[in-house]
Amino acid sequence: MSTQDAPERGTATLEGPAPRVLLIQAPYYADVVGGMREGALRTLEAIGATVEIVDVAGAFELPAALRMALRAEGSRGGHDGYLILGCVVKGDTDHYEHICREACRGVMDISVETAAPIGFALLTVATLQQAVERSLPDRHNKGSEAAHALVGQIALARRLGLAPTGPKA
């Protein structure tokens, strides 16, 4: 599927109180991640979400920052969900493969272990132009797609009684 085939997504919806979201971003490619963040924020603002943003140095640090947030917040957490954004562009060495694989594995391991609602958009691209195309303010914006996925995960966690559904103290 090419970016031209991306589905149209409607406005995200979520029953209950507006969620609190922690957005953890690795803004190494500031323009790309900034575009993804703006797409995500548009999606989350549509449901009234409160979003706190923290930066980490790079993609490798994303899973550790997620783990730190979950540990600091305890079993019920201070946030209803977590959104992870970053970008890795392939270079001339195999560093790309290691970083992409381990960052993705780290977030997946935490997701499966904790059942925390997580939206994940780590662009793993061959060229910077591919990243730019996935961060534009259109239906192909991967930050917006990750935010839609996160809203769905928050809704599921609430339905199953696994996530807080009220305002935090």
DSSP string, 120-155: EEEEEESSHHHHHHTSSSSTT-HHHHHHHHHHHHHH
Residue 45 in marked binding region: no
Residue 96 in marked binding region: no
**For the chain, which residues make up each domain, given as ranges?**
18-159
CA distance 47 to 17: 9
Record the pTM. 0.90
Residue 59 in marked binding region: yes
- In tens digits, the chain (169 residues) has pLDDT values of 455 566 677 777 899 999 999 999 999 999 999 999 999 999 999 999 999 999 999 999 999 999 999 999 875 568 999 999 999 999 998 899 999 999 999 999 999 999 999 999 999 999 999 999 999 999 999 999 999 999 999 999 999 998 654 444 3
Residue 95 catalytic? yes
Is 18-159 a domain of CATH 3.40.50.720?
A: no
Catalytic-role residue among 95, 98, 140, 148: 95
Q: Are 12 and 47 in contact (CB under 8 A)?
A: yes
Residue 3 in marked binding region: no
